[in-house]
Structure formats: C-alpha cells, structure tokens
Amino acid sequence: MHEGSIPLISELVLLGGGHAHALVLRRWGMAPVPGVRLTLINPGPTAPYTGMLPGHVAGHYARDALDIDLVRLARFAGARLVLGAVDRIDPVARALSVPGRAPIGYDLLSIDIGVTSDMAGLPGFAEHGIAAKPLGRFAEAWDGYCARSGPARIAVIGGGVAGVELALACAHRMHALGRAAEVAVIDRGAILGGWPGRKRLLRAMAAHGIARIEGAAPVAVTPDAVVLADGRRVASDFTIGAAGAVPHGWLATCGMAMQDGYLVVDDQLRSVSHPEVYGAGDCVHLRDSPRPKAGVFAVRAAPVLAWNLRADLTGRQRRVFRPQRDFLKLVSLGGRDALAEKAGLTWSGPAMWRWKDRIDARFMDRLKHLPAMAQPRPPAGAARGLATEMAGPAPCGGCGAKLGAGALGTILGGRPGDDAAVVTVGGLRQVMSTDHLRGFALDPVLVARAAAIHAMGDIWAMGARPQVALATVILPRMAARLQGAWLAEVMTAARDIFAAEGAEIVGGHSSMGTEVTLGFAVTGVLDRDPVTLAGARPGDALILSRGIGTGVVLAAEMQMRATGPEVAATWAQMTTPQGAASAILAPHAHAMTDVTGFGLAGHLGNICAASGVGAEVRLDALPLLPGALRLSAAGLRSTLFAQNRAALAGRVTAPETAQAALIFDPQTAGGLLAAVPRQEAEKIVAALCRAGFAAACIGHVTKTAMIRFD
C-alpha cells in the first residue's frame, strides 16, 4: 500500500528534545507505527548533551559537538518539528499551547523538558547572571565571554558537584586562553557537603586557584559582583547559576499530579493522574523508585518509554522501568583528567577522562550516525522505467515541486509574464495572483506561513498591498476527528500572516490528497502605477532584499545533510513577510520581481528580457543563507536546478563554482529583486537593513543582452 494512502488516526506528541526523546526518535525512525503522526516540540533546532558541557567549557569540545540535531532526528523519524516553547498543557482537552499558533492536540503525550537552574528569585540574576541550564543559552553566553580579552572574574553560585565541575572547567579554559582569572564557588552551606569524592575535588579547586566561599548566601547580582548576605562582594563579570536544578514553573500549573513541581509518573513512566501522558528525564518524579536528577536515568528510561508509547498505540503490553540504585559518576577536573565515583569508591586520573570521553562519544554517535533506511521498491508487475524513476531524486521541498522553466516556457511561448495580473474595477486598480506549495516540511503550520508569504510575493513585487486571499488546502488522508484540528492549525497560521500585512482570507476550498499542499489566490490594491518586469534601465543598481539558498538547504534537509541551525535560519527567513521591503523598494524601482522557482538568474533574466537590457552581478555581493554555500560545495542541488540552468543557456555566463551554482537555486518565499536608480541604491539598502532584511546591492543593469555573474 502506498504510504500516502494510509490514513492518520492518532497524534503522538513528544514535548522536549531531552536525551530520552532523542533516543525515542531514533527508534521510531527505524520502525514507525503506521497511522500515527509523530510531533516533536522544542524551543530550538538542537538540544545540548549535558555530559559534554564541562568539556566544552574547558575547551576540549567544539560548540557543535554538544548539539543533538533535532531537525535531522525528526526527519529520520518522519516527525514534524515545531520550534516553539510550550507554556501550557490542557490535559482535559488534550492540547498544548505554543504562543503564536493554534493549540496542538494529542492522543498520547510524552514530556522530557529537563529542568532549569535559573535563579529567578535572586535580585539582579536575570540581568547579570546566566543559568547553567538550559545548556544551549549558557553555552552561547560562555562562548561570547571566551571571545573577550582581559582579566576574567567568574563566580559560580552553587557548591554541588555540577557547580564545582563548571568552576574547574572555567579556570582551565581561562588559563588556556592566557587570561588572568579569579574564579570563586559560592554556597550557603559546605561546598560538596558529604560527597564521597569531596577531598579530591577540593584539591583540584586549590590547584586551579579557585576560591571557596562557604556559609554565605548570595542576596544580589550586579554587573561586576555577587553580593553576599554578610555584605561581602565577590568580584564577577560572569556569574553562573548552578545552585541545584528546579522544575519549570509552568508545568506545575497544568492540573496533573505533581511533587515539588515535578510530574509524578508510575513504574511505566505514565502520569499517575493522566495515563495518556508519559514523562522521562529530570522533569519527572519516579513515584515507585525515587532517584536523584541525572541524565543517566533518562538514557536508561528511553527503551522502556519507546516501547510503552508504541504499546499504547498498538494495543500491546507495557513494560516496567526499573532504574538502577546507583550509577557511575564521572566528573571532569578541568583538564583531560576526571574523577570517577560509585558506591562510595573513587578513582581519578587521565584514564577516567578517557573513559568519560568514550561514553559521551558513544552516546552522541548513536544520534549522529543514523542507520541508512532502505529505499522503497516498485511493486510487482510495475511498468518498465518505474524503478529508474523511483531511484532518481524525488521532487524536493526546495522548489515546492514546481514545474521547470522549460515546461512553462512552452506554454507561455518563451515570453516572461509579469508577476501578477493588473485589473481595474470601478477606477480601483488591483493585482491578482495565485501560488501554492508542496509540503517542504512536515509541519503544516510552517508550510502555511511560507505559502502565504510566497503567494503575496507577486503582489509585493508590483508595489501593491495585499487585500484579500482565497485558500486552497489539501491535507493527507486522516480520521474525521483529526481534520478540524489540522485545518484550524493551517488556517490560523495563514490568517495571522495575512492579517499582519493588512489582508484577510475570505474563503477557499479544502480536500484530501497524499500530502500537504497549500496555496492562495491573492488580490492586492495599487496606490501607484504597477512596478513591472519592463522598465529596468542601463546603469540601474540591482538590489536583492534577502538571502538566497532555500532550495539547496531544504533539499539537504530532506536528505538529512543540513544542520538544524541552518534549516531553522531558512525557515525563519521563509516565514518573514516582505511587505515592509516592498514599501521601501517600490517608490524607487524601475522594475521588480520576487525571486522564486526560477532562481536568481531566472528571475533576473525575466527582468532583462522584458526590459531589453542585460546585467552584471558580483557573486561575492550575494546575500546567502547560512549553510547554502557549504551545501552547494558538497554537491547538493534542488530538483529544479538543472532545468533552471538549462533554460538560461546562452544568456547567462557564470563560473563553475559552488557560489555560482546558487544563482540557479529555486527559491521559496524568496527575496525581492529590484532595479533602482544607482544614486539611490545605498540609502535604499540601508533602509532595508534597518527594517531587518539582509539586503544587498548585487550588481547593475547593462545595455548588452547578456547577463554576467563574476
């Protein structure tokens, strides 16, 4: 049976990209449950691995070595990834709230959101301190601090093992950077208390010159100090909060059984009050086997969690999670040296660090080196040539599965048409256009936002203001009870995008198909003469309002070869409207278009053909999306790349380089390309940049008919 013909009947949501969920995603990708849509919700495209943070702070690991790439894992698992922070769970309605979008419903929910060491109750900490958790924000702040010069003054609030380990790592890194450092650990009690390895860690602190400040409670944090209750001031321009992890405050307000802010789960990892909710990691309290907060329990819980989620979805018997009573603790000592402790016994030395390094590397390798999945085979008795077609690249999300320039050129007789049709009704001039996108991502909300912006591109390109839109929504086959929620998510997202640009969705049509496909017919109002493709003049400057590379990044994402941050940056650009850019460009533009499926070279070619001119473009001036050049150099291409390049043979000259290849890259919700008077170009680009667009002057219009990129 074709995958697209299997109806969706259940919604499984994983809230948080913690260690347990990362391993669940890996298992799901190897054996998904047919009929279930899997959703992962996380604030960012990556999740840092806690075990390697001290090593990164000390300088042993690069920043990206810490990151679990959730975009890649989600694609492997066939899961939609929602980048956002949940602020409420309604267990009665079985829905989660993510600001800026419609509620996300679930039949089965699993929570793995970790904890935080944010010291919200300490005056000044929010402004002048940084919590050790969440780790992503801490790592970014630390990298910025390491880039500075001059003496370092670092204070760690919290004298537990985690705080001391971070202090040792900080001191080692500052020494390696050649910066004089004052590092202090502050605790209201005794540092390390009665921990079995206390003496060894205290010796390591002394060897690194780390000050111990015990029996002193911090009462405030200032830009240059931590103020203690006894009036002392501990000099610090980088204050770290590591005084014990605390649960996220919002979780306790959701009406589920809690203990001290932690979700209470039974021995099957199910909420004791809401059995359709599971939990793992530091955010839960194990009712039947209470354990301290440690990542090892999340990793050990993952197989049981994955099994039980699958069991509930398929009607099988659940399993019991039996956490070990004790576990090996490996603590970095700053350099490539570590302390091991278990059952009160301790060992230390470089061999312990190598042991810890191997354990951490093995865990990350499981999530980075994902098993290759078998390609689908043609059914028995298939037509000749089907196997070859199936083996070739499928229409990728990077071009929205559009038809190529060659096919369209046959229909249009080779003549470039303007971006939208201009009609006059009762003296009011309007522009009309339509566009749609295949689901380039597994989140229909993301696709809806990009499709709305993509459809308004033609309106903006002619200098008009979007007024009304009609929607065409094709959703995959699913149970009737799910259809309303899916449609609500899509239409809420699109309606918000249009409303922000002063337009309204006034109707549309919906149907079912094999995958998500969304489109909009848009009408806009003209307050001035339309800006068309014709009108570019020799000497005009060419301005591009934002980066290119959506095609190659999205194609690479489908092949799991783009990084999470690269994909997230592309998604962010694609879902940013360009009405403000049009308002800046249109009053000055002699010609303008939006850069979409034909790529930069193709759409510039349309301007040149309609205006009877040529162009010269500087490749080094092109704004590029993060990762676009790297992926192009690696040989990644979107499906329409070859057709776009072939359609311009004889009209465009460009070197055979990875950067030049990007001029043929098809764009989705791409930038505006305008020909403007050269003397006004600098101030126009400055205005676009002030408005938040990564705009650039990329070249100029020439008298000759050729288009040169060099």
> What digits encode the pLDDT tens for the residues 61-109?
998 888 999 999 999 999 999 999 999 999 999 999 999 999 999 999 9
What is the separation of C-alpha 158 from the centre of its chain, rounded to a whole number of angstroms?
32
d(CA 368, CA 379): 32
Q: Which helix (H) or strand (E) holds 689?
A: helix 681-690
Q: What is the mean pLDDT of residues 15-36?
A: 96
Task: Calculate the average pLDDT of the chain.
Answer: 91
Give the integer Cα–Cα distance in Å for 667 and 598: 7
State the average pLDDT over residues 385-391.
73
The CATH 3.90.650.10 portion of the chain extends over: 532-710
Task: Record the tokens describing residue 406, joined without a space.
Answer: 């060659």
Cα distance between residue 603 and residue 419, in whole Å:
10
Share of the chain above pLDDT 70, in %: 95
Give me the amino acid identity at 377.
R
462: tokens are 């002619």
Assigned CATH for 532-710? 3.90.650.10
Residue 343 has pLDDT above 90, yes or no: no
Confidence band (pLDDT; 50, 70, 90) for 1?
very low
Backbone phi, then psi, for 61, in 5-degree steps?
-125, 140
Nearest-angstrom CA–CA distance, 334 and 674: 55
What local confidence, expressed as pLDDT, does residue 293 receive? 72
Q: In one letter, which amino acid is 659?
A: Q
Indicate if the pLDDT at residue 359 is higher than 80.
yes
Catalytic annotation on 399? yes
Nearest C-alpha neighbor of 696 from the set 586, 580, 490, 545: 545
Q: Which residue has the higher pLDDT, 703 or 405?
A: 703
Closest Cα to residue 445, out of 487, 479, 498, 476? 487
Q: Kindly state the average pLDDT of the residues 478-503.
A: 96
Q: How far is CA 332 from CA 66, 164, 201, 205, 497, in A?
A: 15, 10, 10, 12, 48
CA angle, 489 then 490 then 491, to 5°: 95
Provide the angle, in degrees to the nearest 10, between the axes of the packed helices 564-574 and 70-77.
90
Q: What order do you get walking across the sheet with 104-105 strand by strand?
A: 88-90, 95-97, 104-105
- Collect all residues with Cβ–Cβ distance below 8 Å to 122 and sequence separation of at least 6: 129, 157, 218, 219, 220, 221, 241
> At 601, is the secondary structure helix, strand, or coil?
helix
- CA–CA gap between residue 171 and residue 692 (Å, rounded): 39
Q: Could you say which DSSP state residue 3 is in?
A: G
Give 405-414 contacts, CB < 8 A, sequence gap 24+.
405/597, 405/598, 405/602, 405/640, 405/643, 405/644, 405/647, 406/643, 406/646, 406/647, 409/647
Question: How do residues 431-480 score in pLDDT, each as one tens digit?
Answer: 999 998 989 999 999 999 999 999 999 999 999 999 999 999 999 999 99
The bridge status of strand 80-83 relative to strand 36-42 is parallel
> What is the model's pLDDT at position 297?
78
Q: In this structure, what token pair is assigned to residue 681?
A: 């170009």
Q: Give the C-alpha separation, 265 to 676, whole Å.
A: 63
Q: Beta strand pairing status for 696-702 and 541-544?
A: antiparallel
pLDDT of residue 402: 56
Lowest mean pLDDT of 114-123, 572-581, 671-680, name the range: 114-123
Q: How many helices (H) and strands (E) does the chain have?
A: 21, 36
pLDDT at 411: 46
Distance CA 256, CA 272 (A): 8
Candidate from 2-6, 213-217, 482-486 with smallest mean pLDDT: 2-6
Q: Are 52 and 66 in contact (CB under 8 A)?
A: yes
- Percent of the chain that is helix, strand, coil (3-state, to 5): 35, 25, 40
**CATH classification of 419-531, choosing from 2.60.40.10, 1.20.120.10, 3.30.360.10, 3.30.1330.10?**
3.30.1330.10
State pLDDT tens for residues 178-221: 999 999 999 999 999 888 889 999 999 999 999 999 998 999 99
Give the tens place of pLDDT for each residue, 51-69: 898 999 999 999 888 899 9
pTM to 2 decimal places: 0.92
- Write the DSSP symbol of residue 705: S
Look at residue 394 in the predicted model and tell me its pLDDT.
56
| Whole-number pLDDT of residue 407 | 52
- Whether residue 310 is predicted with pLDDT greater than 90 in this model: the reply is yes
Q: CA 482, CA 104: separation in Å to the nearest integer?
A: 11
How far apart are alpha carbons 418 and 593 in whole angstroms? 8
Range in 151-155, 331-335, 694-698 with the lowest mean pLDDT: 331-335
CATH 3.50.50.60 domain residues, the chain: 3-114+247-325+333-368, 125-241
Q: Please report the pLDDT score of residue 379 as a whole number.
A: 79
More reliable by pLDDT, 538 or 514: 538
CA proximity to 329, closest of 296, 289, 306: 296
Whether residue 257 contacts residue 264, with contact meaning beta carbons closer than 8 Å, is answered with: yes
One of 146, 399, 689, 697 is an active-site residue; which one?
Answer: 399
Which residues lie across from 83 on neighbouring strands?
42
DSSP letter (8 states) at residue 415: P
The overall longest dimension of the chain from CA atoms, in Å, is 88
**Does the pLDDT at position 399 exceed 60?**
no
Answer whether 342's CB lies under 8 Å from 327's CB.
yes
Q: How confident is the model at residue 373, as a pLDDT? A: 67
Q: How many CB atoms lie within 10 A of CB 468?
A: 17
Assigned architecture for domain 125-241 = 3-Layer(bba) Sandwich (3.50)
Percent share of the chain, pLDDT over 90: 78
Higher pLDDT, 27 or 392: 27
Tell me the mean pLDDT in the region 122-140.
88
Residue 679 has phi, psi (to 5 degrees) of: -70, -15
When mean pLDDT is compared across 25-34, 282-291, 407-416, 675-684, the lowest value belongs to: 407-416
Q: What is the pLDDT of residue 121?
A: 83
**What token pair was written down for 21?**
């969920």
pLDDT at 583: 97
Give mean pLDDT, residues 533-553. Answer: 97
pLDDT at 647: 94
pLDDT of residue 408: 52
Q: Is it the case that residue 371 has pLDDT exceeding 90? A: no
β-strand partners of 350: none
Backbone phi, psi, residue 317, to 5°: -80, 135
Distance CA 471, CA 509 (A): 6
More confident position, 142 or 409: 142
**Comparison of pLDDT for 544 and 126, the residue scoring more:** 544
- CA 457 to CA 572: how far, in whole Å? 16
> 564 near 69, Cβ under 8 Å?
yes
* Mean pLDDT of the region 153-162: 94
> Looking up tokens 């390491």, which residue turns up?
146
Q: What is the pLDDT of residues 624-671, one digit of tens each?
A: 999 999 999 999 999 899 999 999 999 999 999 999 999 999 999 999
Tokens describing residue 334? 């700053």
Fold of the 3-114+247-325+333-368 domain: FAD/NAD(P)-binding domain (3.50.50)
